[in-house]
Amino acid sequence: MISDFLIINCIGKDDKLALRINKDFFIHNFERNENNFDQLVPLMLNFLNSHNVKLDQNFSVIVNMGPGSFSGIRVALAVAKGIGVSKKVRLYGYNDIDLKVFDQQNIEKLFN
């Protein structure tokens, strides 16, 4: 069962990061345009650090794999893969159509 996780939703519309840590759930909305893909990593690190997240084997990163912005999805996957390799976290993907509303209840349904 996935307990603590980060979701990266970077498909070009309603870009968001979501975090569940110690049964608390947080969502961070952000605006992204084609010229600031390099802002994703610092934004994500600030989000994780503000909630005292420890990345380890018990943590998961879940990425929206589209459909959506090819560049946004590619950057999100590269960031997730980098975290996976460096911190040994588990990686998962989902399709945008599988998550109609981006909230804790629907995300938990997605896992089941």
The 10s digit of each residue's pLDDT in 63-74 is 999 898 888 899
Taking only Cα atoms into account, the Rg of the chain, rounded to an integer number of angstroms, comes to 13
Q: Residues of the chain whose pLDDT is less than 70?
A: 1, 32-36
The secondary structure of 90-109 as a DSSP string is EEEEE-GGG-SS-SHHHHHH
Q: Is the pTM higher than 0.95?
A: no
Close Cβ partners of 80 (under 8 Å, ≥ 6 residues apart): 8, 61, 63, 91
* pLDDT at residue number 34: 59
Can you tell me the distance from the alpha carbon of 47 to that of 69, in angstroms, rounded to the nearest whole number? 22
* pLDDT at residue number 104: 82
* pLDDT at residue number 35: 57
* pLDDT at residue number 45: 92
